[in-house]
């Protein structure tokens, strides 16, 4: 089976729901609960800066509106990505991947970077993430795990930085999930926890793949999944599921 330098439990979007998702504040909050690895989403701005954001629209998690793909980095620097969550996080910024990488590496933390392209920018985002991660994590003892629902994005990662570990994401596992993962040279399959069974995990392991499950928020379900052989879970419940 492939080398796997990652912990078994990962904080979703930084701190789950305890802080504004995909911000440095969320990463710091997750670290307060002793999490050492963080999952977060990355997209391209209008001027091709890599920033942390889940949605294609700014409306849900900032005080701005409209498409992220139409906003420049200068535009994003002026918006508030924290007050939607709670007053204590008012003024929190939309961070760049570069800024987050600096914090992670300085504190010896690990990352699961989900490549979440804006519609129509799958290839461009995959290539940009590959090159930027290769640069930002040069000489790092453990590289980020790059995951995506986009086959195109992961194909571009493989083309530009084949050494970066990849995981294909699924909402529901199709019949050919294993073939898809192997065709992309993935080290893991990453899927919704409800789609997993002991047989699926065993099949992945037999093929040399690790298994990642999202988003597991029930401690009892987490233990069941680990009993089946799960390698990693991603959780919002960082205050209930110990790292």
DSSP letters along 141-202, please?
SSPPEEEES-HHHHHHHHHH-TTS-EEEEESS--TTHHHHHHHTT-SEEEEEGGG--HHHHH
Query: What's the confidence (pLDDT) of residue 233?
Result: 98
The stretches in the chain having pLDDT less than 50 are: none
Is residue 135 part of the annotated active site? The answer reads no
150: CB partners within 8 A, 6+ apart: 115, 117, 122, 125, 126
| 147, 166 contact by CB (below 8 A) | yes
Query: What's the confidence (pLDDT) of residue 97?
Result: 98
| Tokens of residue 78, six digits | 């002026």
Kindly name the residue from 54, 160, 192, 205 that is annotated as catalytic.
Answer: 54
pLDDT tens column, 44-75 = 999 999 999 999 999 999 999 999 999 999 99
pLDDT tens column, 75-111 = 999 999 999 999 999 999 999 999 999 999 999 999 9
What does the alpha-carbon distance between residue 27 and residue 39 come to, in Å, rounded to a whole number? 9
In three-state form (DSSP H/G/I as H, E/B as E, the rest C), the secondary structure along 37-85 is: EEEEEEEECCCCCEEECCCCECCCCCCCCCEHHHCCHHHHHCCCCCCCC
Query: What's the confidence (pLDDT) of residue 172?
Result: 97
Q: For residue 122, how many other CB atoms are within 10 A of its CB?
A: 20
DSSP letters along 98-113, please?
HHHHHHHHHTT-EEEE
Residue with the two structure tokens 């949605």: 55
Class of domain 9-235: alpha beta
Is residue 205 part of the annotated active site? The answer reads no
What does the alpha-carbon distance between residue 207 and residue 220 come to, in Å, rounded to a whole number? 28
| Tokens of residue 7, six digits | 């912990």
């Amino acid at each position: 089976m492939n080398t796997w330098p990652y912990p078994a439990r990962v904080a979703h979007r930084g701190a789950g729901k305890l802080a504004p998702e995909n911000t440095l504040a969320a990463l710091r909050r997750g670290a307060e609960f002793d999490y050492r690895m963080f999952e977060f989403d990355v997209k391209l701005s209008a001027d091709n800066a890599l920033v942390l954001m889940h949605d294609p629209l700014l409306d849900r998690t900032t005080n701005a509106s409209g498409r992220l793909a139409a906003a420049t980095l200068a535009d994003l620097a002026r918006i508030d990505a924290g007050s939607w969550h709670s007053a204590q996080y008012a003024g929190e910024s939309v961070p760049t991947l570069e800024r987050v990488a600096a914090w992670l590496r300085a504190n010896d933390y690990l990352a699961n970077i989900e490549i979440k392209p804006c519609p129509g920018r799958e290839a461009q985002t995959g290539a940009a993430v590959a090159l930027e991660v290769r640069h930002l994590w040069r000489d790092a003892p453990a590289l980020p795990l790059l995951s995506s629902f986009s086959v195109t994005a992961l194909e571009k990662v493989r083309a530009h930085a084949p050494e970066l570990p990849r995981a294909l994401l699924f909402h529901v596992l199709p019949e050919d999930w294993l073939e898809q993962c192997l065709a992309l040279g993935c080290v893991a399959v990453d899927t919704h926890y409800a789609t997993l069974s002991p047989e699926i995990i065993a099949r992945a392991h037999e093929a040399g793949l690790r298994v990642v499950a999202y988003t597991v928020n029930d401690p009892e379900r987490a233990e069941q999944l680990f009993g089946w052989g799960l390698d990693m879970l991603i959780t919002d419940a960082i205050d209930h599921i110990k790292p």
